[in-house]
Amino acid sequence: MHKTIHTEVAIIGAGTAGLYALREVRRANKQFVMIDKGPLGTTCARVGCMPSKLALHAGAIRQQINTQAATPLALPNLNQTWATLREQRDTFTDRAIKTTQAAAQNQLITGAARFLDPVTIKITQDNITTLVHAEKVIIANGSRPAVPGWLEPVREYTVSTDEIFELKELPSSIGILGLGAIGMEMGLALSRLGVRVVGADLSSAIAGIGDPLINQQAIQRFGKEMELWLGQPTAVSLAEKGVLLQSGNRQIKVDLLLAALGRRPNLDALNLQEAGFPLNEKGIPVFNPHTMQVEGLPVFLAGDCTSSKTLMHEASAEGSIAGFNAVQNHPVAFKRMVPLGIAFSDPDIFSAGASKAELDKHNIITGLAEGGSNGRARILSEADSLLHIYADAENGTLLGAAGMAPHAEHLAHLLAWAIQRGETAVSLLQMPFYHPVLEEMVQSALQDIVRQLPHKPAWPFGLAPVNHH
Ligand SMILES: Cc1cc2nc3c(=O)[nH]c(=O)nc-3n(C[C@H](O)[C@H](O)[C@H](O)COP(=O)(O)OP(=O)(O)OC[C@H]3O[C@@H](n4cnc5c(N)ncnc54)[C@H](O)[C@@H]3O)c2cc1C
């Protein structure tokens, strides 16, 4: 059976980016169709942000009980904990599915989309072929975990983040390949739940940390909870009921492997090249990050499929830009937010604004604050907390920050907002800092910057005279 649909806007992908795009299209009262191959429920809710944070939370509770109980308590069986996590996760997914169905208003087409040309999309599902001719198209079809071919010999004992939350039985030991934010979060969650974890990465940095001192501190801290094999390749081979990991002179057999080796955009399934899209060397359509428009076409990109800022808040912002611009005669170029990244590693690792590696070391000042000098961090037994703030060496304008501290999700936001607002070390110091709080680490790092400025204010730290401009 064949069906042909003519519409104003077609959105491919009902994930976070697609749903934000849809909101803008509906606000403009345009005709639309939304196409998704399923399952619905968004990566964030089903296999991403939410279940990973639930796992970390479960791990933290178990760790607390284990360390504080005078006598061993009967803890729930680990597989039971994982099943509970799945149930909690399903509440997020179910809500996302309901939101999608309500928002799509019977205009949801189920099936995998392929382009015939940039505004003609073919969807085949259950012997029904639908051809959609759209005036504008939004591509928001997300990404999938990378499971490279060299893992094929051990695939039977390998899971991706799409699969790990579905396990009915957790292993006694697990190897984690790839220690970016996702690999570190999953490794720490599982280790705190009682699984033996060995994490390996070719890079010497964990959680994508771009500041060598913070990285060193984080390795010292988290190396106590999971074995970390860094800076060398790790070979994998089949062992009896598991996988043998080998790196340098180390080797260990684990029951299961988690491939946390990054994510691939799903664009390769869309037949883009043959349909006439201008592609870069990575196979991504050439697009403007301020309008999200693909060069020369009435097509917009949003979310993980762009392969650039693969985070939920960026997917929603890009979806809004793409949706808004798809219903304009002339696309509007929008400002993008400063980068913000958080690993919920407890203590959390974060970066806000530019990373140290991106900045010219001759033109910046780094302000340092250590948990050992912060009352709150010491009360919380988190004296190894560390914060770096990078500022322009001439005028103290804040450019970036990175750190490791308890609940640093909050410090990360505070600093990202200050950087985006164009605050300087002097202006931010004029804000109130309560005592004893972790924010006093920000105060200390800012004071450290001001001490290094070539032109220091005449006033005491944090003060500005009335009527002074
Ligand atoms: C384990 C993990 C933890 C994470 N933690 C965080 C976190 O703490 N904070 C954070 O900000 N981000 C986190 N992320 C990243 C975040 O989840 C993603 O950036 C975000 O969900 C991407 O949304 P999206 O709309 O681009 O993609 P998706 O939500 O994946 O939506 C894409 C949709 O497109 C559909 N689709 C795919 N191909 C086709 C096709 N050919 N035709 C039709 N439909 C198709 C899919 O079915 C899907 O519904 C995490 C990710 C993972 C994996």
Structure-block tokens of residue 350: 């974060």
Tell me how far the alpha carbon of residue 304 lies from the centroid of ligand 1, in angstroms.
6
Q: Which pLDDT score is estimated for 67?
A: 83
The answer to whether 411 touches 438, Cβ cutoff 8 Å, is yes
Q: Which pLDDT score is estimated for 66?
A: 84
Tell me how far the alpha carbon of residue 448 lies from the centroid of ligand 1, in angstroms.
40
Mutate to test the pocket of ligand 1, among 304, 305, 348 (most ligand atoms within 8 A of CB): 304
Nearest in space to 189 (alpha carbons), one of 348, 84, 54, 48: 54
Tell me how far the alpha carbon of residue 420 lies from the centroid of ligand 1, in angstroms.
26
Percent of the chain with pLDDT over 70: 98
- Count of beta carbons in the 10 Å neighbourhood of residue 148: 11
Q: Which pLDDT score is estimated for 420?
A: 98
Phi, psi of 6 (to 5 degrees): -110, 130
Dump pLDDT digits (tens) for 71-82. Answer: 666 667 999 999
Q: Which pLDDT score is estimated for 111?
A: 97
Structure-block tokens of residue 392: 């322009």
* Distance of alpha carbon 110 from alpha carbon 98, whole angstroms: 15
The answer to whether 388 touches 310, Cβ cutoff 8 Å, is no
Residue 360 has pLDDT above 90, yes or no: yes
Which residue owns the Cα nearest ligand 1 atom 7?
49
**Which residue matches tokens 């392969």?**
307
* Distance of alpha carbon 43 from alpha carbon 162, whole angstroms: 9
317: left (phi over 0), alpha (psi -120 to 50) or beta: alpha
Q: Is the dihedral of CA 290, 296, 299, 303 positive or negative?
A: negative
The answer to whether 383 touches 371, Cβ cutoff 8 Å, is yes
What mean pLDDT, rounded, does the chain reach?
96
Looking at the CA of residue 123, tell me the nearest atom of ligand 1: 42
Structure-block tokens of residue 135: 């005036």
* Distance of alpha carbon 55 from alpha carbon 400, whole angstroms: 30
Tell me how far the alpha carbon of residue 74 lies from the centroid of ligand 1, in angstroms.
37
Tell me how far the alpha carbon of residue 142 lies from the centroid of ligand 1, in angstroms.
5
The stretch 253-269 carries a mean pLDDT of 97
Tell me how far the alpha carbon of residue 133 lies from the centroid of ligand 1, in angstroms.
26
pTM metric for this prediction: 0.96
SS3 state of residue 211: coil
Tell me how far the alpha carbon of residue 17 lies from the centroid of ligand 1, in angstroms.
8
Looking at the CA of residue 161, tell me the nearest atom of ligand 1: 1
Q: Which pLDDT score is estimated for 118?
A: 98
Residue 428 has pLDDT above 80, yes or no: yes
Q: Which pLDDT score is estimated for 256?
A: 98
Looking at the CA of residue 42, tell me the nearest atom of ligand 1: 29
The stretch 22-30 carries a mean pLDDT of 98
Tell me how far the alpha carbon of residue 229 lies from the centroid of ligand 1, in angstroms.
28
Which residue owns the Cα nearest ligand 1 atom 31?
15
Dump pLDDT digits (tens) for 216-242. Answer: 999 999 999 999 999 999 999 999 999
Q: Which pLDDT score is estimated for 73?
A: 64
Which residue owns the Cα nearest ligand 1 atom 23?
16
The answer to whether 180 touches 209, Cβ cutoff 8 Å, is no
Query: H helices of 338-407, where?
Result: 375-379
267-272-278 Cα angle (round to 5): 110
* Distance of alpha carbon 25 from alpha carbon 227, whole angstroms: 49
SS3 state of residue 289: coil
The stretch 319-339 carries a mean pLDDT of 98
Tell me how far the alpha carbon of residue 143 lies from the centroid of ligand 1, in angstroms.
6
Looking at the CA of residue 41, tell me the nearest atom of ligand 1: 49
Phi, psi of 45 (to 5 degrees): -80, -35
Nearest in space to 181 (alpha carbons), one of 360, 342, 31: 342
pLDDT tier at 1 (50, 70, 90 boundaries)? confident
Nearest in space to 35 (alpha carbons), one of 176, 117, 129, 164: 129
Nearest in space to 180 (alpha carbons), one of 261, 263, 256: 261
Contacts of 124 by beta carbon, 8 Å cutoff, 6+ apart: 111, 112, 130
* Distance of alpha carbon 308 from alpha carbon 297, whole angstroms: 20
Burial zone of 468 (CB within 10 Å; 0-12 exposed, 13-18 middle, 19+ buried): exposed
Burial zone of 23 (CB within 10 Å; 0-12 exposed, 13-18 middle, 19+ buried): middle
Q: Which pLDDT score is estimated for 74?
A: 66
Burial zone of 127 (CB within 10 Å; 0-12 exposed, 13-18 middle, 19+ buried): exposed
- Give residue 15's identity as a one-letter amino acid code: G
Percent of the chain with pLDDT over 90: 96
* Distance of alpha carbon 208 from alpha carbon 340, whole angstroms: 12
Which residues line ligand 1 at a C-beta cut-off of 6 Å? Answer: 12-18, 35-38, 42-44, 47-49, 52, 112-113, 140-142, 161, 182, 266, 269-270, 303-304, 310-313, 315
Which residue owns the Cα nearest ligand 1 atom 5?
49
Looking at the CA of residue 145, tell me the nearest atom of ligand 1: 53
pLDDT tier at 162 (50, 70, 90 boundaries)? very high
Mutate to test the pocket of ligand 1, among 141, 162, 264, 301 (most ligand atoms within 8 A of CB): 141
Tell me how far the alpha carbon of residue 273 lies from the centroid of ligand 1, in angstroms.
23
Cα-to-chain-centroid distance, residue 293: 23
Tell me how far the alpha carbon of residue 431 lies from the centroid of ligand 1, in angstroms.
38
CA distances from 91 to 19, 41, 54, 164, 247 (A): 18, 10, 12, 18, 41
Dump pLDDT digits (tens) for 36-84. Answer: 999 999 999 999 999 999 999 999 999 988 887 766 666 679 999 999 9
